[in-house]
Amino acid sequence: MQDLGNTQFFKVETDSNSVKKIMAEVYAALTEKGYNPVNQIVGYIMSGDPTYITSYKNARSLIMKVERDELVEEMLTEYIKNNGWN
């Protein structure tokens, strides 16, 4: 039986480089189409609605290959690294 009295820890292994590449391609496609990429990506992450991401240059299909929590984890990791918090 599982001990539910303690916080559970899990680690998901993701390929950080592929997530970065996908994010860069999606960001570029959104920018090229004239969208605000930050607003669109946040909308997608918050809602899970893929229509926030353009299908231009296959961006929608690309971003759907990555779990939304992986996107948040990658962005937060980069933010922390770039602000010298670690």
Q: What is the DSSP letter of 28?
A: H
pTM: 0.79
Task: Give per-residue pLDDT as tens, 8-66.
Answer: 765 656 677 899 999 999 999 999 999 999 999 999 999 999 999 999 999 999 999 99
DSSP string for 32-80: HTT--HHHHHHHHHHH--GGGS--GGGHHHHHTTS-HHHHHHHHHHHHH
pLDDT of residue 35: 98
